[in-house]
């Protein structure tokens, strides 16, 4: 059995196809990030300059692979989409990104994530998938999308 199937915590027959694919993506992301770490350490310790460049090239390839898998996840999970839009490609301090994106209402206001997910139709008929908030991302106005609009206008 492939590694991506071995880490299941429940019987595969109990899981939707989407949840099994999300598991495959999460395992792949873990593997890509682990490879980035390994290549970076090997390159830094390597005494041969040419081999170091090969190892750094490979590390950069693994970063690309990880980014591709992360984007696949973002396109299928509304919570990934929401948080990546909040925290990625911003210039504000990371710990202030949420407040900047929500206008400071997130900390004191009600948790709107659950309400938004309850409104969103689940992709799979599985109640498990719905409970796991595996729904397609909603297009909304976030700091990330606003910055993207700025870049497209400029
Ligand atoms: Fe890779």
Cα distance between the two ends of the chain: 50
Q: How far is the CA of 32 from the centre of ligand 1 (A)?
A: 5
The confidence score (pLDDT) of residue 105 equals 72
pLDDT of res. 143: 47
- Which residues lie closer than 8 Å to 4 by C-beta, 6 or more apart? 23, 24, 27, 28
pLDDT band at 61 (very low <50, low <70, confident <90, very high): very high
Q: Look at 58 and 7; give whichever has higher pLDDT.
A: 58
User: Running DSSP on this structure, what letter comes out for residue 50?
Assistant: H
Q: What is the distance in A from the centroid of ligand 1 to the CA of 86?
A: 26
Here the tokens at position 63 are 């970063």
CA 127, CA 57: separation in Å to the nearest integer? 43
CA 60 – ligand 1 centroid, Å: 9
- CA 107 – ligand 1 centroid, Å: 37
The residues spanned by each domain of the chain are 3-7+14-104+111-153
| pLDDT at residue 117 in the model | 45
Q: Helices in 46-142 by DSSP H: which ranges?
A: 49-76, 78-87, 97-102, 112-119, 127-131
Q: Give the side-chain half-sphere CA count within 13 A for 113.
A: 16
Average pLDDT, the chain: 80
Q: Ligand 1 centroid vs 92 CA: distance in angstroms?
A: 30
pLDDT at 119: 44
At 35, give phi and psi (nearest 5°).
Answer: -65, -40
Residues 117-151 pLDDT 10s: 444 444 444 444 554 555 566 554 444 544 555 55
* Residue 104 pLDDT level (bands cut at 50, 70, 90): confident
Interval between CA 45 and ligand 1 midpoint (Å): 21
The Cα–Cα gap between 69 and 66 comes to 5
Distance 28 CA to ligand 1 centre (A): 8
In degrees, rounded to 5, the angle at the alpha carbon of residue 27 between the alpha carbons of residues 23 and 31 is 170
């Amino acid at each position: 059995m492939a590694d991506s199937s071995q880490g299941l915590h429940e019987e595969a027959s109990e899981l939707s196809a989407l949840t099994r694919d999300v598991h495959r993506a999460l395992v792949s992301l873990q593997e890509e990030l682990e490879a980035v770490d390994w290549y970076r350490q090997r390159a830094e310790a390597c005494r041969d300059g040419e081999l170091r460049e090969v190892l750094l090239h490979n590390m950069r390839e693994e970063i690309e692979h990880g980014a591709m898998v992360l984007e696949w996840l973002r396109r299928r999970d509304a919570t990934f989409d929401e948080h990546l839009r909040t925290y990625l490609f911003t210039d504000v301090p990371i710990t202030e990104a949420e407040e900047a994106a929500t206008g400071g209402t997130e900390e004191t206001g009600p948790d709107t994530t659950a309400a938004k997910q309850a409104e969103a139709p689940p992709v799979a008929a599985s109640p498990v998938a719905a409970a796991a908030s595996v729904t397609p991302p909603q297009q909304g106005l976030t700091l990330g999308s606003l910055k993207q609009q700025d870049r497209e206008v400029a």
